[in-house]
Structure 1
């Protein structure tokens, strides 16, 4: 369609999450809100870029660069997608912004809230669009879940929620330079997967986002191994009495039922193989059908591949509308999330080199 915007992407790094992102962008979709062109790939070498393209998007022919700087300098790139480890996000974002590029940067957006503020200040000065790639927030499932909870009140007044994201990592088999073990790279469950549990807590307990959302009080505990958090538990405490218990672990894989939201008229379970990619949820009324209540209702959502295209579509539409930030994931919300994780780490003990900067 003539009104469908086109975005030319420059992909920074050839890691796992970048492979998922480009595969989703290349997926033919009848309901696509934008046309996505993978313009170029930046890696530590052209050879790595060639292997990446061959494995993940063999039918495409993006320009291959052996440096990230060449991606930022490419005049045919509209938006830079950053999929590097957390510790490099600040520098990658600032370099792309300095080149005048719009940016979609993976979560966790930075290591600290202070770093996030620096990135957004640079984006504001340069007048470019920047967004944290918290892709799960853009799923139709998540948007429907929020509407049913906060607008339709299908479970009444929400009082409590639980969410866990655990992955069984063979940490003993990993070298010290692994992103799962190196503090210099931002290792730890909180920034890697705990951010998803936290996200479920924030979006189900509060209808607001960013400046319109309440900052809950935090009570947190972490289990550390060589300074790296291998398990984190945080309780979100709201003035109304609502509570959220959000957890992450590198020791045990979460079962498919990973989230429960409780209200005065029922509860909701959210299920799927990973918290980052929920597959469906079920609304359970307090009074079961066997006792005259309404039946439980399951909500399923079509989700080919993984679902990165929804956030990519949103970026394309925002850039076309000359917006500088997303209404779903605005800068203030990224800062709020980073501030909460800073506080969780302050209480739990996980510390990164960036905390001293």
Structure 2
């Protein structure tokens, strides 16, 4: 049966935490897999670091290990490059992979700003390769079910407010100035790291449409900055119909288990787990006076849902995802740009994008 599934040979750029989660999930044996994934090659800053990554996260496997990212781009056996480096390197990593004719799945936030993202998409269009931002949360079956209940079935009536928070105590004060969490040149701050998920839930909860077809909300934002880096961000998306999405992120405190609440005229939905990784949600209906809980199913963390979707899109000859198209990445980054404009957080690259 597996031979009938589309197959992707992955080259992994970056050996940090998120790359370890990604390869672990792709290596899982799944009964409902929609594609076959092969970790073909690992690119790291040194061969030794790459070997340690494989020994720890891919036991029993033997991908090609490169002491540079260039080896990944030049490897004829790599179909698609997964980019798990810090935000500030995404643009160049994407451009290098695209120039080599590789498909690309690049972690969120896709770039530091919308201008950088547009540069990447222009290059992808010229080369005819598939490129997608790895906003994995959108591909969870649980997320897809929430969208259907909200916008198709109108399970809680007309949506009035969305509250979403992503906060982690990252002990920022203890980190050195070159940490990706403290260095503005690396895209430091809560907004691109965690706030992007809150913006995502705010958009998904507010509107059935995405990308260019979506409604355009007014944005009001404030940030708390330390050495130019936001340690807390609060933003409100105000829609023409009066709907509001209240979105917050912080690196000082921790989000409660219910990270998102969506309120409507006939009830509300509480979503639990992590803001990036929903594990369950409960629909409370005031109309019928009942509640129903939905829970996530599947092994691992859930990165394979986006990977399967990418494999199916590439097999179908597509260069964009319908769930996370280029226009949606540009829209989200445009909102993040405006939040930073109002809040004061700046990256050196903003001046040259």
What's the offset of the Cα at 1:294? 3.3
Counterpart contact for 1:210–1:333, Cα < 8 Å? yes
Aligned equivalents of 2:336 and 2:215: distance in 1? 15
**Residue 42 of structure 2: aligned partner:** 41
Tell me if 1:294 matches 2:289.
yes
1:286, 1:169 → 2: CA distance? 38
TM-score (norm 2): 0.98
- Report the CA distance between 1:295 and its aligned residue: 1.7
Report the Cα distance in structure 2 between the residues aligned to 1:161 and 1:211, rounded to whole angstroms: 21
What is the DSSP-based 3-state SS (H/G/I as helix, E as strand, rest coil) of the residue aligned with 1:232?
strand
Q: For the residues of structure 2 that align with 1:314 and 1:3, how far apart are their CA atoms? A: 16
The aligned runs of 1:95-244 (5 Å cut-off) are 95-244=96-245
The 1-side partners of 2:13 and 2:76 are apart by 15
Unaligned runs of 5+ in 2: none
Query: What SS does the aligned partner of 1:76 have?
Result: coil
Partner-residue secondary structure (3-state), 1:335: helix
Whether the 8 Å CA contact 1:215–1:336 is kept in 2: the answer is no
CA distance in 2, matches of 1:128, 1:191: 25
Partner in structure 2 of residue 290 of structure 1: none
Residues 262-290 of structure 1 show CA distances to partners (whole Å, capped at 9, x for unaligned) of: 00100000001x11011000001125xxx
Q: Does 1:351 align with 2:346?
A: yes
Tell me if structure 1 keeps the 8 A contact 2:231–2:252: yes
Match of 1:308 among 303, 306, 322: 303
User: Is the 1:18–1:83 contact (alpha carbons within 8 Å) kept by the matching residues of 2?
Assistant: yes
Number of residue pairs aligned between Structure 1 and Structure 2: 351
Task: Give how far 1:215 is off.
Answer: 1.8
Q: Distance in 1 between matches of 2:60 and 2:142?
A: 30
In structure 2, the partner of 1:279 is 279
Q: CA RMSD for the aligned pairs? A: 0.7
Q: Partners in 2 of 1:215 and 1:72 — Cα distance?
A: 38
Partner of 2:90: 89
4+ residue segments displaced more than 6 Å:
none
Q: Residue 296 of structure 1: SS of its match in structure 2?
A: strand
- Secondary structure of the 1:117 match is helix
Q: TM-score, normalised by structure 1?
A: 0.97
Q: Which runs of 5+ in 1 are unaligned?
A: 288-292
